[in-house]
Amino acid sequence: MITCKKCGSTNRTKVKRKTRAGEYYMTSRCRDCHNKYTKESGLMAKWQQSNKEHLREYQRDYYKDKYKGRNGVYSKRLKQRTLPNEDKKNIAEFYSNCPSGHEVDHIVPLNGKNVSGLHTIGNLQYLPIKDNRIKSNKY
């Protein structure tokens, strides 16, 4: 039996963990000690705070080309959903006049499950941030 390096317990020590690369490894701590070490001490949060630039660089590199195709399709779709005669200055002004604590929301979502709306001034509204996140992509 394997004993935990922290508490000496043999309870639940054979715990498989998965790395970001998808490889599995066996831990040297029991599950309780591992959870206590990472969550209660805030070790991961402290590391993330002290290595913000490293994490941003890693994320930029990781996501650089990952969603290129999807984002291109989305931008084409947005262009198609904007009426050609729509005054783009009015839309830009609507966005710039958004009150603090609110976000601009499409009443009928652009990419809804059952219905898709247009990117026009009549389809925009101001919603508090919390309500907009709850509404998400729903009508």
Tell me, yes or no, whether 101 and 131 share the same domain. yes
The residue range of the domain holding 127 is 68-135
Tell me, yes or no, whether 84 and 37 share the same domain. no
Task: Please check whether residue 62 lies inside any domain of the structure.
Answer: no
Task: Please check whether residue 93 lies inside any domain of the structure.
Answer: yes
Task: Please check whether residue 10 lies inside any domain of the structure.
Answer: no
Express each pLDDT in 70-82 by its tens digit: 666 666 666 666 6
**30 near 14, Cβ under 8 Å?**
no
Cα–Cα nearest to 80, from 117, 128, 42: 117
For residue 138, the number of C-alpha atoms closer than 13 Å in the C-beta half-sphere is 6
Give the predicted TM-score (pTM) of the model. 0.44
Task: Please check whether residue 6 lies inside any domain of the structure.
Answer: no
The CA distance from 123 to 68, in Å, is 27
By the 10 Å C-beta count (0-12 exposed, 13-18 middle, 19+ buried), 121 is classed as: middle
Express each pLDDT in 22-39 by its tens digit: 777 766 777 777 777 777
Express each pLDDT in 49-61 by its tens digit: 899 999 999 888 8
Task: Please check whether residue 58 lies inside any domain of the structure.
Answer: no
Q: What is the pLDDT of residue 41?
A: 66
Tell me, yes or no, whether 82 and 114 share the same domain. yes
